[in-house]
């Protein structure tokens, strides 16, 4: 068994030796921890909370047990090399960008890329070429890019690296195979933010993973859908386009020099769990998700989409993500989330103006799902109003006036929205739905953009990126 979960057993052995220790962490194997915390959390967690010590290898230069654990992960996921990440896919995205691009390089990416990608542009001084997402009309969710739009960007720009995000938060997947084919035609290094798809390799009913078809670097958040600790992720490398030395350097610069063994052991164990039981675990979850979907669709006022939306603006769907549309019940997703929270004591993953999102992950039971179904039936009876009939319109991508880096480091000031025409945004301003940025730092706020924002304000959309709650003040470059 030791060889199958090497890091878990190496740590257990180390702790059982009970050697006198005069080193970090400062809690001295839990003995110095405040009683309140120890009483609540127990003692074991602190014994396991160590950082690199003799015999337990080094994350930034793995030659022993961490190397073994990462090699087993690579085999399980089907990559050529896998890194354990202890700062989430956020650091994974930063590493992918900084190890494949030089300062001032261009990179192709989706407009709705995660903020770690947008941050990476600013920190590493990269120039974005954005591809706008299609919108799934009924739910208002950005559903994916058209492969032909991607090819157009490649035809018209000199660029060497593309960063694709798939699936999105709601489990909608891009046609990653077609996108990869096009990217290779233009000699692209292909990066994939698969933060929400870490479970895909472990069940044949789940969508295709980019690891299988040969993206060069793939980042996945273990903690999002697998039973792993928060902050744990994997970075996978395939093929030989990536300079491994640069990847090691980037990880050394960007991650902690005192990595948590709690996180790394969690990754080692979850890899073993998925390898040995993943097919069964995800079969059960897919069955439960189909059951939940069917039952929700019997309730007046709620609609939960399944694979019938494929080819509609969506290429593939992760069935374990349950998006429940609330338009027909006449409540926003935000309102339904609040009712679930305050009146029924139920927590969900997120909500937007037209939807709530439910995650089904290992450990979920039919009893919990039945409770949710009964609750939604009750809400449908007690709270139903006139259906919402709105469609999401998205604006054009604004002109980039200065680079993301200039926008990040240069001075900014707060102004009233009414005076913003022609100014350069210092923040991401976005609205839900569809959750796409309207402007990002460095982009010009044109009259059209301003009118679009005023229109959203009138509709009482959920706007983000303002200084005040009334959404009257924004930050722009001086």
Interface ranges with ligand PLP (CB under 6 A): 88-90, 93, 114, 116, 165, 169, 193, 195, 221, 233
Shortest distance in whole angstroms from residue 462 CB to ligand PLP = 17
- Which one, 93 or 326, has the nearer CB to ligand PLP? 93
- Which one, 89 or 425, has the nearer CB to ligand PLP? 89
Neighbours of 207 (CB within 10 A): 21
Shortest distance in whole angstroms from residue 374 CB to ligand PLP = 30
- Which one, 15 or 262, has the nearer CB to ligand PLP? 262
Shortest distance in whole angstroms from residue 149 CB to ligand PLP = 19
- Which one, 143 or 221, has the nearer CB to ligand PLP? 221
Shortest distance in whole angstroms from residue 173 CB to ligand PLP = 12
Give buried/exposed letters for 223-262 (b at 16+ CB in 10 A, else e): bbbbebbebbbbbbbbeeebeeeebbebbeebbeeebbbb
- Which one, 116 or 133, has the nearer CB to ligand PLP? 116
- Which one, 188 or 233, has the nearer CB to ligand PLP? 233
Ranked by CB distance to ligand PLP, the top (closest) residue is 88
Shortest distance in whole angstroms from residue 217 CB to ligand PLP = 13
Shortest distance in whole angstroms from residue 52 CB to ligand PLP = 22
Instruction: Provide the token pair at 387.
Output: 């259906």
Q: Are 307 and 317 in contact (CB under 8 A)?
A: yes
Shortest distance in whole angstroms from residue 364 CB to ligand PLP = 20
Shortest distance in whole angstroms from residue 310 CB to ligand PLP = 21
* Biggest CA pair distance of the chain: 69
Shortest distance in whole angstroms from residue 112 CB to ligand PLP = 9
- Which one, 120 or 147, has the nearer CB to ligand PLP? 120
- Which one, 264 or 288, has the nearer CB to ligand PLP? 264
Torsion of CA 360, 365, 371, 377, to 10 degrees: 50
- Which one, 93 or 162, has the nearer CB to ligand PLP? 93
């Amino acid at each position: 068994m030791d060889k199958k979960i090497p890091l878990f057993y190496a740590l257990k052995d180390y702790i059982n030796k009970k050697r006198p220790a005069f080193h970090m962490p400062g809690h001295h194997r839990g003995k110095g921890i405040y009683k309140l915390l120890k009483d609540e959390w127990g003692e074991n967690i602190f014994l396991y909370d160590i950082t690199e010590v003799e015999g337990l290898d080094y994350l930034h230069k793995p030659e022993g047990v961490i190397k073994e654990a990462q090699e087993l992960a690579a085999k399980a996921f089907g990559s050529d090399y896998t890194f354990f990440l202890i700062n989430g896919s956020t650091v994974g995205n930063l590493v992918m960008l900084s190890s494949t691009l030089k300062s001032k390089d261009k990179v192709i990416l989706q407009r709705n890329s995660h903020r770690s990608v947008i941050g990476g542009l600013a920190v590493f001084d990269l120039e974005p070429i954005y591809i706008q997402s299609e919108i799934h009309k009924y739910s208002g969710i950005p559903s994916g890019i058209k492969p032909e739009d991607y090819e157009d960007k490649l035809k018209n720009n000199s660029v060497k690296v593309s960063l694709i995000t798939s699936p999105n938060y709601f489990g909608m997947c891009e046609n990653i195979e077609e996108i990869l084919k096009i990217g290779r035609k233009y000699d692209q290094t292909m990066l994939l933010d698969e933060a929400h798809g870490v479970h895909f390799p472990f069940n044949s009913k789940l969508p295709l993973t980019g690891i299988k078809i040969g993206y060069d670097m793939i980042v996945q958040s273990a903690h999002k859908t697998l039973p792993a600790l928060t902050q744990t992720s994997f970075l996978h490398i395939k093929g030989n386009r990536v300079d491994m030395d640069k990847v090691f350097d980037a990880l050394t610069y960007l991650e902690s020099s005192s990595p948590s063994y709690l996180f790394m052991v969690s990754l080692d164990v979850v890899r073993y769990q998925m390898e040995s039981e993943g097919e069964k675990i995800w079969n059960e979850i897919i069955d439960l998700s189909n059951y939940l979907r069917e039952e929700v669709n019997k309730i007046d006022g709620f609609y939960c989409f399944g694979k019938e939306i494929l080819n509609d603006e969506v290429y593939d769907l992760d069935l374990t993500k349950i998006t429940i549309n609330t338009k027909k019940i006449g409540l926003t997703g935000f309102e339904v989330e609040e009712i679930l929270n305050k009146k029924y004591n139920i927590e969900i993953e997120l909500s937007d103006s037209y939807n709530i999102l439910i995650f089904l992950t290992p450990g979920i039971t039919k009893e919990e799902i039945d409770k949710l179904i009964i609750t939604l039936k009750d809400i449908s009876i007690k709270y139903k109003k006139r259906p919402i009939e709105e469609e999401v319109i998205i604006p054009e991508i604004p002109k980039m006036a200065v680079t993301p880096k200039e926008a990040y480091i240069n001075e900014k000031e707060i102004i009233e929205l009414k005076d913003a025409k022609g100014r350069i945004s210092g923040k991401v301003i976005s609205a839900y739905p569809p959750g796409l940025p309207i402007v990002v730092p460095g982009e010009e706020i044109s009259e059209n953009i301003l009118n679009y924002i005023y229109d959203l304000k009138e509709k009482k959309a959920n706007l983000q990126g303002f200084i005040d709650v009334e959404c009257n003040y924004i930050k722009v470059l001086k």
